[in-house]
Structure 1
Amino acid sequence: MKQNVGSIDKILRIIAGIALIIYALYSGALWAWIGIIPLLTGSMGWCPLYPVFGCSSCKK
């Protein structure tokens, strides 16, 4: 897996993921557990949808 998530993208994904998970914990909203996905893709530095659409937020 070649890294395709840039540094700003990583930070935004991790913040959004943590925010959604915290919201899920406090509100009980099951849909908010989707925050696991941006948290994982941000921490791994790889998004599986980027190759499908042929894009990358990493500097070349």
Structure 2
Amino acid sequence: MKKNMGGADRIIRLIIAAVIAFLYYNQTISGTLGLVLLIFAGVFLLTSFISFCPLYALFGFNSCPTKK
């Protein structure tokens, strides 16, 4: 897998995942919506750690800075 996520994109995904996790454990969001959002947060964490997003690859998008 070739990296296709830049640093800013990774940080934004980590922040979003942390906010969703906080809202879920604070019981602000619950039920089916809470579980779905928690799964999205898990996917955001995973893609942030490996710096690869399958949807970016599918659509040909790359936010990783170019190397000279």
TM-score band, normalised by shorter chain: 0.7 to 0.9
Whose radius of gyration is greater, 1 or 2?
A: 2
AA of the residue aligned to 1:12? I
- What is the alpha-carbon distance in structure 2 between the residues aligned to residue 8 and residue 35 of structure 1? 17
TM norm structure 1: 0.86
Match of 1:57 in 2: 63
Question: Structure 1: which 4+ aligned runs deviate by more than 3 Å?
Answer: none
Name stretches of at least 5 consecutive residues in structure 2 with no aligned partner: none
Question: Number of residue pairs matched?
Answer: 60
Superposed CA deviations along residues 16-49 of structure 1, whole A, max 9, x for unmatched, are 1111112111213223202111111112111011
- What is the alpha-carbon distance in structure 2 between the residues aligned to residue 45 and residue 5 of structure 1? 5
Name stretches of at least 5 consecutive residues in structure 1 with no aligned partner: none
Q: Could you tell me how far 1:9 is from its partner in structure 2?
A: 0.4
Work out whether residues 23 and 32 of structure 1, in 8 Å CA contact, stay in contact via their aligned partners in 2.
Answer: no
| Aligned-pair Cα RMSD in Å | 1.2
TM norm structure 2: 0.78
